[in-house]
Amino acid sequence: MRLTLFLLLAATLNCLAQNDALDAKNGFKDIRLLSDVTEYSGLSYSKALKDKPQHTLYKAAKGHYESIGDVPIRNLQVYTYRNLIYRIEVLVARDEKLFRSLEKAFGKIKYSMGSQVSYWEGAKVRLTYRPEGKKNVLLTYLAKDINKIIAEDKKKAIDSLTSEF
């Protein structure tokens, strides 16, 4: 009984430590989620997103963010809300070494039957791993707190309109 309890406790602590690793990393390479996009010289403005006001898309500038080790990055896109980075999408060549290194860093991967993606999840960050065709994989880093920030901004806008009456 004690051995079972010890193993369960050890597995739980290991899982929590790996989730902390994802939260501590908080992004891809030197790009941090919920930081100001203007701090990164390796990102260049691409376009404003028409369907979402105050949301913009940035892409990697030439000569920046070209590989993860020896795995080539095919595309890197950074989504922002009021210049705060909330989503980083990295399209890379499919490589078993990359997957194994992600599992080593963040723990065993989970699978969502509903959305059919694999993911790691921390308290602040969610990293999804989704195949794109036969040769590519899309890694998506998502800041969980962005929905709270957007909701607060909408509430402030409503309050400012209310105060004008």
Least Cα distance to 71 among 103, 97, 42 occurs for 97
Least Cα distance to 141 among 83, 96, 77 occurs for 77
Q: What is the pLDDT of residue 10?
A: 43
Q: pLDDT tens across 83-99, in order?
A: 999 999 999 999 999 99
**Residue 112 pLDDT > 80, yes or no?**
yes
Q: pLDDT tens across 40-63, in order?
A: 999 999 999 888 888 999 999 999
- Taking CA atoms, 35 is separated from 27, 42, 135, 164, in Å, by 10, 14, 31, 32
Q: What is the mean pLDDT of residues 110-139?
A: 93
Hunting for tokens 């997957």 — which residue is that? 99
β-bridge pairing 31-32 and 55-60: unpaired
Q: pLDDT tens across 3-15, in order?
A: 444 344 444 444 4
Arithmetic mean of pLDDT over the chain = 87
What residue segments make up the domains of the chain, in order of their start? 2-163
